[in-house]
Chain A
Amino acid sequence: MSENPEKNIQKEQEAEKRKDSASSPLLEIRGLHVSFQSRGKKLRAVRGIDLKLAPGEILGLVGESGSGKSVAMKAVMNLLPENARVEADSIHLDHLELLSLSETERRKLCGKTVSMIFQDPMTSLDPLMNVGGQLAEVLRRNAALRTKAEIRERSLDILKKVGIPAPEERLRQYPHELSGGMRQRILIAMALCSGPKLLIADEPTTALDVTIQAQILSLLDELRKEFQSSIILITHDMGVVASICQRIAILYGGLIMESGSAEDIFYHAGHPYTRALLRAVPGGDIEEGKRLLSIEGSPPSLMELPKGCPFAPRCEKAEERCFRELPGRTTLGEGHELFCHNP
């Protein structure tokens, strides 16, 4: 009898949680810092970013090389090399506080709750194992399938879903026998076979031909609808973001510069960096016919980050204050946030 009150409290808490889940974000990152120790030098790749992702949403994470976008997501997946140090106030994924989980528990989430696909499909598959074998391995682990027949059936099923012709034949083939687009589809199939709630796609189309890029992007979008997953799309390509993302966060020098809905970013961009990025997009429907503009200078060294806004040295509107202190958060509208002294 004495246990009852406690149980009741637990039940209440659980019920509350469930109530929350409808509106609560699938992934919520607060104050994420990642640094690397390299030969006695400290390299700060991510310097305190906050991110929120609603269930079923596609978030585009945009930035140049070295902006920390990929590192931040690998920190969520716990995939960083050993010399990385991750600090965060919280990383909440699907009602779990990742920071309080053990290594093993976090690993078990990978592939089940959250999956990731990478830039280069040519090197992402084990060259010595055929497609069937690699799929079977993932299915056995993440979808708890046991018998050979079950695995085969499910493999064929999922290959069909990602749009692979003649799946029976593919199972026997080795990665080198397949094209880049085909391999990326297979990787997507492997990532999706446990129906993860979150798929992180790290430049999934960068290494592919232009025509294949569009196919893979629309495949991701279809699959998101079918599996009701959320997707975080890491890219340096504003064009890719424009085609499928609902929300966008722009990163620079390990910080978020601006975040908001696709409409906010493309039509009401507040940050000079975002505007510079948009001017640099070739073709598309934005400012058609104008000469492409590049951003002068190069991104800051992560070893010697400036005190103030990292973009200040390249910013056309920079003033003295920008070099001195980091800008704080400015809210422009519902979900549209900006970090700039001088928007």
Chain B
Amino acid sequence: MLEFCSDRQAAFAASYLLLIFLISILVFLFRGLDPDKIDVLHKLQPPSPLHWFGTDNMGRDYFARVLYGGQVSLLVGVLAMLCSVLIGVTVGMLSGYFGGLIDGFFMRLVDIFLSIPWLIMVTVFGLLFKKGLLSIILVIGIFSWMDIARIVRSEVLAVKGREYVQYADFIGIPPLSVMTGHILPAVFSTIITASTSTIAGAIMTESALSFLGLGVQQPMSSWGSLLQQSQKYLQNAPYMALLPGILIILTVYSFNKLGDILRVFAEPRVRAGEEDMPREAGGKSGNEETAQEKCGEGRAENPPRKDKEREEAEIPVREASERKETEISAREASEKRGKDE
């Protein structure tokens, strides 16, 4: 935790997210803030002490609208993330655990879902559902589970090889219990890490959809739909475009940052690597290795793996960053949401 706090960006991201979530949840406590109070006499007013961020085209207090919009954006982000984690974890677990045909099928599916430009896909799928918050959440969820599925699958493959899982299989515990009882806890931290960047992606997607008029519909508003409305008044009321945009950037940035940090700190493998560094450096099954294996049998039939005697001290750091790097590419797609492409 100490290192976590010493990273200023991470500390900023965490405290910002805490703040924005608290505000979104507790916003109803502020009596004075009514996002729907129409006051046509004072429409499109610039920021003033009475209306911190001015008023919109119908004289509604923009500050209140932005805060309530944040509620919707964050809600969509979190629920879409849950939806995508649910699909992703299920697919990843099934793929990794059973392998073979099931794996082949799901991984092709992932390839196809990943290859078609996301905006086109999401829009087309959006046509299939009735307009509404739930369908936005579902559509975003349905199109953002692929990275999680891939990451979970590879984790499951790694965990599956461990002895306690093989033992559980051996003594006849049914696959479902093995998966939920033994594999799920082991890949849990990975899921948490991946889900933070999924929230970021979902918020981006929602804002883009709403901006195109395909997402959140009036009278409900999110940051994206606020931006869409502000487009019309850009010339006279540019402040209307400023606040929602900045909040989107800060939120998405913070979630991505949090994901980066969690990836390094919550990774059990990295942590373990730090604690027994020299053993870890020697190979994966460090604890059981004896001097005889290492010092005497260099010429034995198994040519040692590449990492056998790598740079002793550097290894843990290196592994951590390598994981990060590979996962960045797996995460690219989720980060790209809200961008063109």
Q: Are A and B in direct contact (Cβ within 8 Å)?
A: yes
Flag whether B37 is at the interface (Cβ < 8 A). no
- Most A CB contacts (10 A, CB to CB) among B283, B296, B303, B310 go to B296
CB < 8 Å neighbour of B287 from A40, A295, A296, A298: A298
Which of the candidate stretches B47-55, B105-113, B272-280 sits at the interface with the other chain? B272-280
Flag whether A289 is at the interface (Cβ < 8 A). no
A64 to B282, CA, bound (A): 9
Flag whether B340 is at the interface (Cβ < 8 A). no
CB < 8 Å neighbour of B292 from A71, A207, A295: A295
Q: Which of A286-308 contact B (CB under 8 A)?
A: 292-303
Q: Which of B268-311 contact A (CB under 8 A)?
A: 274-279, 281-283, 286-287, 289-301, 303-304, 306, 308-311
A62 to B295, CA, bound (A): 8
Contact B297 A38 (CB under 8 A): no
Flag whether A84 is at the interface (Cβ < 8 A). yes
Which of the candidate stretches B84-92, B140-148, B313-321 sits at the interface with the other chain? B313-321
A325 to B278, CA, bound (A): 22
**Residues on B with beta carbons closer than 8 Å to the beta carbon of A207:** 303-304, 306
A168 to B301, CA, bound (A): 33
Contact A302 B313 (CB under 8 A): yes
A38 to B319, CA, bound (A): 13
Number of A-B contacts (CB under 8 A): 136
If A36-B314, A119-B309 touch, whether A206 touches B303 (CB-CB below 8 Å) is: yes
Contact B3 A66 (CB under 8 A): no
Distance to closest chain B CB from A280 (angstroms): 4
Digitize A201-222: 1 where CB-to-B-CB distance is under 8 Å, 0 elsewhere. Answer: 0010111111001000000000
**Residues on A with beta carbons closer than 8 Å to the beta carbon of B311:** 70-71, 74, 81
Contact A64 B298 (CB under 8 A): no
**Residues on B with beta carbons closer than 8 Å to the beta carbon of A38:** 274, 277, 313, 316-317
Contact A123 B306 (CB under 8 A): yes
Contact A240 B299 (CB under 8 A): yes
**Residues on B with beta carbons closer than 8 Å to the beta carbon of A303:** 274-275, 277
Flag whether B2 is at the interface (Cβ < 8 A). yes
**Residues on B with beta carbons closer than 8 Å to the beta carbon of A277:** 291, 295-296
Total contacting residues, chain A, CB less than 8 A: 55
Distance to closest chain A CB from B229 (angstroms): 47
- Most B CB contacts (10 A, CB to CB) among A64, A81, A205 go to A64
Digitize A32-56: 1 where CB-to-B-CB distance is under 8 Å, 0 elsewhere. Answer: 0000101111010100000000000
Digitize A296-330: 1 where CB-to-B-CB distance is under 8 Å, 0 elsewhere. Answer: 11111111000000000010000000000000000
Flag whether B169 is at the interface (Cβ < 8 A). no
CB < 8 Å neighbour of B309 from A43, A203, A280: A203
Contact B278 A299 (CB under 8 A): yes
CB < 8 Å neighbour of B313 from A64, A71, A280: A71
Flag whether A109 is at the interface (Cβ < 8 A). no
Flag whether A235 is at the interface (Cβ < 8 A). yes
Distance to closest chain A CB from B140 (angstroms): 36
Contact B292 A237 (CB under 8 A): no
Flag whether B312 is at the interface (Cβ < 8 A). yes
A292 to B290, CA, bound (A): 12
Contact B298 A235 (CB under 8 A): yes
Distance to closest chain A CB from B288 (angstroms): 8
**Residues on B with beta carbons closer than 8 Å to the beta carbon of A293:** 292
Contact A280 B306 (CB under 8 A): no
19 cross-chain CB contacts under 8 A: A38-B274, A38-B277, A39-B3, A43-B277, A43-B313, A65-B309, A66-B279, A74-B311, A119-B309, A209-B303, A210-B299, A210-B301, A236-B298, A237-B295, A277-B291, A294-B293, A296-B290, A299-B291, A301-B276
Known: A39-B274, A70-B312, A301-B276. 5 other contacts (CB 8 A): A41-B274, A64-B294, A65-B312, A277-B295, A299-B291
